[in-house]
Structure 1
Amino acid sequence: MTSGNTYFVSCIVPARNEEGNITSVIAALTPVLQSVPIIRDYEIVVVDDNSTDSTGRLIDTLAQNDPHVRPVHRTTSPGFGNAIKAGMKEARGDILIPFMGDLSDNPHDIPRLVERIDEGYDVAYGSRFVEGGALNGYPKAKMIANRAFNNLVRLAFGIPFRDVTNAFKAYRREVIDEIGTDTLESIGFDLTVEIPIKAHILGFRSSEVPVQWTDRTAGEAKLKLSRNGSVYGKRFLNLFIHGNLVALKDLFRYFVKGSWLGIILALVFGLLILAFLFTLTGFSTIFSILATVSWPWIAASCIAILFSFVVRTWRWSVLLRSAGYVYPRDILFKCLMFSWFLNYILPARLGDIARAAALKTTSDAPFGMTLSTIVIERILDMITLALFLGVASMFVYKASFVYIEAGSFVIIAAMVLVLLMIYKYEETIIRLFERRIPSIRQSLVLLKKGLDEIATNPEAMVLCFILSIPVWLLEVSSIFFAARSVGYNLSFVYAATAGVVAFIVQALPLTPAGLGVQEASITGVLMLFSVPSALGMSIALVDHFARGLVIYIVGLIATIHIAFASRWFFRKNGKSDKELDKTHES
């Protein structure tokens, strides 16, 4: 169903030596463009790109017989990209659609592209690789290269669509105007990647439409795989660097505020703790232990940590669903990894708040509701850790565990109290903070609504608690595997106890990534079990290395995806740098 709007559509047809196709292209486009109610007017901008055959004369003849055909003749710098740019400069439509001059695109797909723009999207990707799309006569070598490059783009930019390289797309006029044809650098087929990715970076909304593609029946193909491989590679690298400079800058300005001096001092503090531990345990001894590590065991540690995040994602999705909200798990996983990545580069524990904000910037999730599910997660985590410590105490009792256990229950009680205070004194809190935080009313209303929904679904809470157990079993398994990697047969109970204590201690935001704090906690606990300090320190370092490896690599990829997926949010909110500063000041 359309909105009732109608559009002036410009089809831009690049034509270099297409005398065998161009008449058929116009004949195929015309009846489709004339018969679609949503298209009130149209033009077919045919770009004669330095043709050496009769293409130019044919276009002029067609234009004399049909005022909808607009010829553009180019006599310099031939190239598919230059032809499309010239056509876009001449185009007058509300919607611009490149259409191949060899008739490989299907004109009957144009109405669906226009309808997708009418639904509110700025770019409609014509995709040959989704259900309803089709390819006929596509060369195998090009297919392999196409899929490899498209999957690389999807991974690097977080674009979910399967056919970024297809030239057959519909662009809202504003997209091309804001990008600017003069700023487009591609002269060849890499323009098919440059325009949509730049639109993605600017925050325009995109969608995907199935289309049909059929190999040409006349003329010679212009896309040569051997010539364009390096061109696509350079264009990808250029866009990736440019896109990240823009996207990550906005993302980190939104999440990271405060003095860099404080971050540096926290890092130095963590390094001083490590230096003290090395001095205490003996650097040469630790180095000799680490020189013989078993990498397969380190890989096992990394796998355990990665799977713990998979289970965390499952648990979070259950909580969100019980609160009445459903989001794709891949988005939830990326938000989760982004939050841990942020915690691993900053001393303050901003991860939980950042996770809720990331889900808002990528999926428009209500911030207050999301934060309530994360607080419940933290309560479940602390209950699980306290339970683990209680079970461990049954096997190896230490008086110091009593204090740690008591501390964990204090944290649990504090979290529950905060939720109860917010729930009971909502209006009082709103009156106190509404002038400084205008959105607080909506956030607290949604938080209460989320809590009410969760409270009516005890089965979901039971499942979340059950899922918390494998989360932390996988987490402490990393320490168990780290011990194996240095050749020490550490009891799983000891590993679990050291892990629980380390995780509880790291609730205090002292250093980025718990640097030094984690090593001191694990080493100290293992010493209680008669593990030599140098060996305990080595185990802690290997465990921390494995965690860092997973969080920095997977977290960085997730952060890049979150940054690109958030572009629409920054565009929608129109936040300039000064506006972002004001937001954080308030």
Structure 2
Amino acid sequence: MKRLISIGVSLAILLLIYWQIDFAELLQVFRQSDRLWLAVSLGMVVPLTGFTAWRLQQLMPASPDTTQGLDFGESNRLILAASSLNMVLPSKMGDIAKAYFMRDRGHLTGSLALSLVVFEKACDMLSLLLWCVFGLLLYPAKDWLFWGMTVSVATGLVLGLLLLGSPGFAQFFFKRAHQIAPKKLKLKINKLSYSWKEMHDYFWGDRRRLSLIAGTSIFIWFLHLLQIWLFTLSLRADVPFLANLALSPLAILAGLLPLTFAGVGTRDAALIAFYQPYMPAAVGAALGVLTTSRYFLPALGGLPFLGQYLKLAQEIRMSSK
């Protein structure tokens, strides 16, 4: 039911956007786009998936009977299938299925496998916030709204770094969250707290692995933001790269709000609003379409592998009831 509501909200926002934009003008934007840059920017999905799969390999320890816990091809299939599952199942079930598969493949405990995925997602979020703060600090045209967003994003970054780097602060945070959370969320917070502690013990016991994963995550998110800037080039919009470092993460963060299906609608509206100084609304809407393709192309690529992991995800949902 929640998924149907989110799809409805996405459709409502898109209808509002396209009601205000001449659809013929939007089509004209794509007709006049630079086909070479469009191909290059869309093609970046391939190396981005590859780097993300390589990071997943480094996250997972070697199993006792193999030299490596997860081979590169298998890691790619798992990343693509998780993208597909996240599109069709609620609550990021694809990432949870990824944790269960890592448990079975690497002979890990379930909590450790979940903690590895938690750490992967935490690194992604902190890397996105890091680039956003960097871009916002250098963004020249800051009014009170952008200063407020700069402070908010920087606060989120500091809080995330404290959660990741300080076991004491993390324990205090989860304890307070448990006290004020609704009854339905208390069990999930307890599980997350336990996984977070196990993640601390695992990664802070190996500083080399910690540095490798953190550095790779920052580089991966640089490529994500570079891809969006290449989208603007393909649409023949003149957007400074440093401005893109500030604006594109804000739009991505807007898409993470739990209101819409895969961020569709909220992310599109944010792109039109934030990039308004550099492009008309029709070009901003086209940028929204291309940015959404970053999520749908990997999901399409994961369809051939979806059967195996969908069965696993269903088993997870049944066992959690």
TM above 0.5? yes
The residue aligned with 2:263 is: 514
Q: How big is each residue's C-alpha offset from its partner over 1:229-257, in whole Å with a ceiling of 9 and x where there is no partner?
A: xxxxxxxxxxxxxxxxxxxxxxxxxxxxx
Report matched runs for 1:531-546 at 5 Å: 531-546=279-294
Q: How big is each residue's C-alpha offset from its partner over 1:1-46, in whole Å with a ceiling of 9 and x where there is no partner?
A: xxxxxxxxxxxxxxxxxxxxxxxxxxxxxxxxxxxxxxxxxxxxxx
2:97 and 2:309 in contact (8 A); partners too? no
SS of match in other structure, 2:46: helix
Shift of 1:582: 5.5
Q: How big is each residue's C-alpha offset from its partner over 1:36-80, in whole Å with a ceiling of 9 and x where there is no partner?
A: xxxxxxxxxxxxxxxxxxxxxxxxxxxxxxxxxxxxxxxxxxxxx
Distance in 1, matches of 2:13 and 2:195, equals 42
SS of match in other structure, 2:275: helix
Q: How big is each residue's C-alpha offset from its partner over 1:371-409, in whole Å with a ceiling of 9 and x where there is no partner?
A: 212222233223322221222124314242324414633
The residue aligned with 1:421 is: 171
2:157 aligned with 1:409: yes
Distance in 2, matches of 1:272 and 1:495, equals 27
2:128 aligned with 1:380: no
Distance in 2, matches of 1:348 and 1:300, equals 32
Q: Residues 274 and 444 (structure 1 numbering): CA distance in 2 closer, same or farther, change over 3 Å?
A: closer
Q: 2:19 aligns with which of 272, 276, 279?
A: 279
Shift of 1:501: 1.1
Distance in 1, matches of 2:301 and 2:250, equals 25
The residue aligned with 1:309 is: 49
The residue aligned with 1:240 is: none
Q: 2:302 aligns with which of 550, 555, 565?
A: 555
1:315 and 1:467 in contact (8 A); partners too? yes
1:348 and 1:510 in contact (8 A); partners too? no
1:298 and 1:482 in contact (8 A); partners too? yes
Give the AA of the match of 1:497.
A
Q: How big is each residue's C-alpha offset from its partner over 1:304-337, in whole Å with a ceiling of 9 and x where there is no partner?
A: 2231222122223223239998322333332222
Distance in 1, matches of 2:107 and 2:121, equals 23
Q: Residues 303 and 391 (structure 1 numbering): CA distance in 2 closer, same or farther, change over 3 Å?
A: same
Higher helix share: 2
Q: Residues 423 and 530 (structure 1 numbering): CA distance in 2 closer, same or farther, change over 3 Å?
A: closer
Shift of 1:467: 0.7
Q: Residues 276 and 323 (structure 1 numbering): CA distance in 2 closer, same or farther, change over 3 Å?
A: farther
Q: How big is each residue's C-alpha offset from its partner over 1:283-309, in whole Å with a ceiling of 9 and x where there is no partner?
A: 332222123334433322232223122
Give me the TM-score of the superposition, normalised by structure 1.
0.45
The residue aligned with 1:321 is: 61
Distance in 1, matches of 2:173 and 2:57, equals 23
2:57 and 2:72 in contact (8 A); partners too? yes
Distance in 1, matches of 2:197 and 2:281, equals 48
Query: Which segments of 5 or more consecutive residues in structure 2 lack a partner in the other structure?
Result: none
Shift of 1:471: 0.6
Give the AA of the match of 1:377.
E
The residue aligned with 2:320 is: 584
The structure number with the bigger radius of gyration is: 1
Distance in 2, matches of 1:509 and 1:320, equals 29
2:82 and 2:97 in contact (8 A); partners too? yes
Q: Residues 451 and 413 (structure 1 numbering): CA distance in 2 closer, same or farther, change over 3 Å?
A: closer
Q: Residues 364 and 509 (structure 1 numbering): CA distance in 2 closer, same or farther, change over 3 Å?
A: farther
Distance in 1, matches of 2:172 and 2:69, equals 24
How many residue pairs match? The answer is 302
Q: Residues 478 and 290 (structure 1 numbering): CA distance in 2 closer, same or farther, change over 3 Å?
A: same
Distance in 2, matches of 1:336 and 1:392, equals 28
SS of match in other structure, 2:60: helix
1:506 and 1:517 in contact (8 A); partners too? yes
1:502 and 1:521 in contact (8 A); partners too? yes
Distance in 2, matches of 1:385 and 1:535, equals 24
Distance in 2, matches of 1:349 and 1:407, equals 25
Give the AA of the match of 1:488.
A
Q: How big is each residue's C-alpha offset from its partner over 1:76-134, in whole Å with a ceiling of 9 and x where there is no partner?
A: xxxxxxxxxxxxxxxxxxxxxxxxxxxxxxxxxxxxxxxxxxxxxxxxxxxxxxxxxxx
Shift of 1:507: 2.8
2:118 and 2:196 in contact (8 A); partners too? no
Shift of 1:456: 1.7
Distance in 1, matches of 2:132 and 2:76, equals 28
Give the AA of the match of 2:204.
A
Give the AA of the match of 1:557.
P
SS of match in other structure, 1:355: helix
SS of match in other structure, 1:531: coil
Distance in 1, matches of 2:274 and 2:195, equals 42
Q: How big is each residue's C-alpha offset from its partner over 1:204-229, in whole Å with a ceiling of 9 and x where there is no partner?
A: xxxxxxxxxxxxxxxxxxxxxxxxxx
Give the AA of the match of 1:542.
L
Shift of 1:516: 0.9
Distance in 1, matches of 2:203 and 2:317, equals 35
> How much identity, in percent, do the aligned residues show?
18
Q: Report the aligned-residue RMSD.
A: 3.8
The residue aligned with 1:299 is: 39
The residue aligned with 1:23 is: none
Give the AA of the match of 1:505.
A
Distance in 1, matches of 2:26 and 2:242, equals 23
Distance in 2, matches of 1:305 and 1:327, equals 21
Q: Residues 322 and 494 (structure 1 numbering): CA distance in 2 closer, same or farther, change over 3 Å?
A: farther
Give the AA of the match of 2:264.
L
Q: 1:492 aligns with which of 241, 244, 264?
A: 241
2:26 and 2:285 in contact (8 A); partners too? yes
SS of match in other structure, 2:238: coil
The residue aligned with 2:211 is: 462
> Which sits farther off after the overlay, 290-299 or 452-461?
290-299
Q: Which has the higher contact order (CA 8 A, sep 6+)?
A: 2
2:229 aligned with 1:474: no
Distance in 1, matches of 2:201 and 2:62, equals 10
